[in-house]
Amino acid sequence: MDADMSQLMSAVPDHIPQDLVRDVDFFNLPGADADIHLAWRALQQSGPDVFWTPRNGGHWIATRAEDIEAIQLDHERFSMAQLSLPRTDMAGGAPAIPISLDPPHHWPFRKLLQPAFLPRAVDRLEEGVRATAIRLTEALAPLGRCEFVGDFATQLPITVFMDMMDLPHADIERIRPLADAATRSPDPAERRKASGGMAMYVMNYVKERRENPGDDLISFISKGEVEGRQMTFEETMSMAVLLMFGGLDTVASMLGFVARFLAENPAHRRQIIDEPANISNAVEELIRRHGLVNTTRLITQDFEFKGAPLRKGDQIQLPNALAGLDERRIDDPLTVDFHRERPIKHAAFGNGPHTCPGAILARRELKVFLEEWLKRIPDFEIEPGKRPTYAVGMVNTVTSLPLVWKV
């Protein structure tokens, strides 16, 4: 045992049995440079259902679908008040509204956001999503190559989101690094700096929209009411910052994983093209296989869970991808089957009160991508001699994906 690990092991709390301790640094998972999801699943298959790691401040990890779902639904014992590892604050000490609030305090703020992401609202957004997807794909198709993450995956959802917020497209390159740092940096100080930078970016827009609201999402929350009163400036800022981080990262990350899968699986590409009526099922199955978010809960009381002696103040991490890769719940979970029987179970968007409000929009953006990209670039592959690169953090992502095709 090296000196570093020996020091970490000596810091394991006395209440944790040694047989439940594993040396796991989720920022540096073995095998994640080749396949993040297989790296997570190796942990699921090789250890206890719930175990403790001394890395990143020390925390539990739940690896099975039934436990991940149970924890997501049990806000009384598993609080959303501290979501990240190592511990930090997403918004400079203030709660990240509404995600870090537990019921019943969470619902009034979520209710305010909900209309912007309901099916009718997403239907209105689809025209812009499709126009952007067509524009990007038609610009790339004659080139015969692209770096998919920079040329498409970050462009489509971020353009749509910036339009929803009525923010300048020219600012994308300025603020995207802040989202990357906030969701994937192992350094709490860097995450706090990124959160503060995003707050500084949106502050003037929030002030302006509170005085002169328009039809955008910032205006919508700025003039919104919770429990019969107007949102405070601080609450509006917190919600705006959280929306920025979510809108700039998660769908872009999912697009990267989906494009990588399709580049390596031509039969699945052809199936989507030949069976357009089944595209919604295909989208759900791709989401199941490529879960993204690795959030954390704060344990509020002492109790035993699946043989693990949890203590008040401990944190437990939920790698949501593992809920969709668990053979106890999903038959042959590593196989992508576009005809898998509904409902296709996963936790990619969470469960219960904190289910991601943008889930409907995310599904629609993936559907539009599949329709418009495959219509124009039906056959593509990872550039020979190159390989994708990945990063693990609060959100799994593809950082680069070199693709080529014949023109």
Encode burial over 386-402: b for 16+ CB neighbours within 10 A, e otherwise.
Answer: eebebbbbbbbbbeebb
- pLDDT for res 204: 93
pLDDT digits (tens, 9 = 90+) for 296-340: 999 999 999 999 999 999 999 999 999 999 999 999 999 999 999
Paired sense of beta strands 381-382 and 402-404, if any = antiparallel
Please identify, in words, the CATH class of the domain defined by 26-39+104-298+331-404.
mainly alpha
For residue 192, name the pLDDT band (cuts at 50, 70, 90): confident
For residue 245, name the pLDDT band (cuts at 50, 70, 90): confident
Asked if omega into 188 is within 30° of 0 (cis), the reply is no
Per-residue pLDDT, averaged over 257-284, amounts to 98
Percent of the chain predicted with pLDDT > 70: 96
Distance of CA 269 to the CA centre of its chain: 24
The pTM of this model reads: 0.93
Burial class (CB in 10 A: 0-12, 13-18, 19+), 196: middle
Contacts of residue 252, Cβ cutoff 8 Å, sequence gap at least 6: 149, 153, 154, 156, 157, 158, 397
Has residue 90 got a pLDDT over 50?
Answer: no
> Where along the chain do its domains lie?
26-39+104-298+331-404
Tokens of 34: 């080749």
Instruction: Report helix, strand or coil for 25.
Output: coil
CA–CA separation, 163 and 169 (whole Å): 8
- pLDDT for res 303: 97
Cβ atoms of residues 39 and 396 within 8 Å: no
pLDDT digits (tens, 9 = 90+) for 120-168: 999 999 999 999 999 999 999 999 999 999 999 999 999 999 999 999 9
CA–CA separation, 393 and 15 (whole Å): 27
Per-residue pLDDT, averaged over 53-82, amounts to 95
For residue 5, name the pLDDT band (cuts at 50, 70, 90): low
DSSP assignment letter at 118: S
- pLDDT for res 11: 78
* Average pLDDT across the chain, whole number: 92
Element (H, E) at 107: helix 106-113
pLDDT digits (tens, 9 = 90+) for 44-63: 999 899 999 999 999 999 99
Taking the CA atoms of residue 274, residue 275, residue 279 and residue 284 in that order, the dihedral angle to the nearest 10 degrees is -100
Place of tokens 């704060």: 298
What residue type is assigned to position 83 of the chain? L
